[in-house]
Structure 1
């Protein structure tokens, strides 16, 4: 074997053995019924000054208003418009013809979450009635894969999620509504006590309680797949309280920031956790219908999507004239995890993104050759061998030519 070929084989062997792939962690995070208009434009002036929807218009304007659209949306959702815009992608700004829509006919929550998580707009799921979902979902699919088995969990404010995810069949824990945490430690006991003290327990738990439970679980058990679904944006909108709706949107952004900071300061999650941030449906696009959504309300199918983490090229706000459907999210996320999502129903194909599946092998493949050489154990030794071998080879070649 020629020296150069021999050394090349040694290099390949070292790189393959010393750089194992690490399956990406996946966090799917949703807030119920948050319009794309607020995400991409910030507070709407015609609603912010409407006394039918805002208790104190002067105070609300001070809290949420800026003269320019760019400043306004960043004031409402600073994490999205700093960290995500710089390091990820934001889809769904219809002002630049970038569209995200639900495919289901009904434009309400159960059909919407089903579509996100199963990749299938099931026409038989017509309402928010709690019934066990017959459709396989992405989370249970991942839970059945060795890399993710028993490392999947869901937390939701809305108490219908055990049915949407079919907890009985899926085989992973779903904490929703005012369910207590079963884990035993001082922090969990405190969260349970606060939750138990809520006098009127509605169908949607306070988002802060849901978030605290999820954060505690993440720190204690380090699941690889998390579904975190928050709901108070939708609750405030249905109450026709635009000021409160904006505050809940801002709270959601704050929770995203806190969760991202936690992830990026934890060695288990750092630089290997994908955030998929979205909503289940839109709302009325007309000022008189902003608080409502259904198959009869214009704008209810219009949603948005944000992506941050490994495999996501940092292109920021998407401004291309493209269309994404909610049912495509499941296959896209599965692909980013290196999986082909298969289920007991049709699954929509993944949408095209300027992304590449992130693995350690991919990282190596995109390195320059000098960087590759110097990034592996023993690389300098191998490089020295390679140079010596090449020198010997050239000396022998020159000697042969001289003869």
Structure 2
């Protein structure tokens, strides 16, 4: 017997078996963030502290019919039906602290730019990312790393409601196109959807100077999915945070439900398109949490207790169907970047990034 050949066969079997075991089906990724969306509403629905005559809603009792039930499991489904009728049955949802299932920011700032940097780069940078100023991110994000790879070059896109995203993604250095704030769709081959959205955005400015209404972000992102077919798509919705800052709990709740519908629209298209169907992982999270009292819920930041408590969710061909995660454990948004690379069959290039979310990959 030729023991050398036998040994070689054993080694090859082991190597190829290992490769096969790590061969994921994910070819595309949709990463979504809801700015400042609390885990309390995600898991318990409308907050009983807010749904009253406190002045935070337009009419006393106006949220009751659409959003109130004594059972928090019913309330959360009324608020976010896609989350609880699809994600909970076909994917994973992390962050219900009632079960000791904890998701937190690694950064200690607990506001937007540090939170988005952590999600996109894979680590906190509390020494350099200390404000929401429009300064280019010194860190390389997962979007930039992927755009540097030949198989993803020109197939990475980002859309956001907040006008700071071109700086967070460092559009100038990364080459990743970012449509954010009041940017319009540009180019010679605009789709009818993009032309109409350009017109509507110019006519409907919304209540904030630096944040557009999420409907425009959604329409631009959907048009890109349909017509430009990116392999990596990042979408950030902003209304929930801005309505909360203004102490409008009713608008915050309505925006959360509308965003849930936007996410459903994206997933329904993904599952209907040959490029994306059963080859796409969608990961959803937030940049930070908020306060938990009637007065502190509108704010966040290091001075607000509990504002670093967040949540995340995933659905895709390589993520086990575990629904609402009830196991005790600790996860961080810094873990998302390396997990995305793992799902794409690659090692994340920055050693500072958080670990892979092992429960999110088979």
Structure 2 length as normaliser, TM-score? 0.90
Conserved in 2, the CA contact under 8 Å of 1:23 and 1:147?
no
- 2:25, 2:154 → 1: CA distance? 17
Q: Judging by fraction of residues, say which structure has more helix.
A: 1
Q: Does 1:176 align with 2:161?
A: no
1:366-400 Cα shifts (integer Å, max 9, x gaps): xxxxxxxxxxxxxxxxxxxxxxxxxxxxxxxxxxx
Q: Alpha-carbon deviation of 1:63? A: 1.3
2:84 to 81, 95, 98: 81
One of 259, 270, 285 as aligned partner of 1:252:
259
Aligned equivalents of 1:226 and 1:332: distance in 2?
A: 15
Alpha-carbon offset, residue 354 of structure 1: 5.4
Q: Deviations over 1:340-387 (max 9, x none)?
A: 1113x722222321532xxxxxxxxxxxxxxxxxxxxxxxxxxxxxxx
> Could you tell me which residue of structure 2 aligns to residue 394 of structure 1?
none
- TM superposition shift of 1:260: 0.8
* Structure 1: 5+ residue stretches without partners: 1-11, 357-403
Please give the alpha-carbon distance, in whole angstroms, between the structure 2 residues aligned to 1:56 and 1:214. 34
Q: Unmatched 5+ residue regions in structure 2?
A: 1-12, 14-18
CA shift in 2, pair 1:101/1:158, >3 Å: same
SS at match of 1:70: helix
User: Matches of 2:178 and 2:277 in 1, distance apart?
Assistant: 24
- CA-CA distance at 1:215 after TM superposition: 0.3
Distance 1:23 1:88, change over 3 A: closer
C-alpha separation in 1, matches of 2:240 and 2:227:
28
User: Which piece of structure 1 moves more, 107-116 or 281-290?
Assistant: 281-290
In the TM superposition, 1:75-114 aligns within 5 A as 75-114=78-117
C-alpha separation in 1, matches of 2:25 and 2:76: 35
Q: CA deviation at 1:22?
A: 6.2
> Does 2:217 match 1:210?
yes
SS at match of 2:50: helix
Distance 2:265 2:26 in 1: 23
Using the TM superposition, name which of 199-208 and 177-186 deviates more.
199-208
**Is 1:68 the counterpart of 2:74 in the alignment?**
no
Distance 1:330 1:50, change over 3 A: farther
Q: 1:196 aligns with which of 198, 202, 207?
A: 202
Query: Is 1:243 matched up with 2:247?
Result: no
The verdict on how the C-alpha distance between 1:339 and 1:306 changes in structure 2, with shifts beyond 3 A counting, is same
SS at match of 1:30: strand
SS in 2 for 1:289: coil
Any residues of structure 2 matched to 1:4-403 within 5 Å, and which?
A: 24-123=27-126, 124-183=128-187, 184-199=190-205, 202-343=209-350, 346-353=352-359, 355-356=361-362
Whole-angstrom CA distance in 1 between matches of 2:200 and 2:356: 41
SS in 1 for 2:265: helix
Q: Secondary structure at the match of 1:100?
A: strand
Report Cα offsets for 1:77-112 as digits up to 9, x if no partner. 000001000000000001111000001111000000
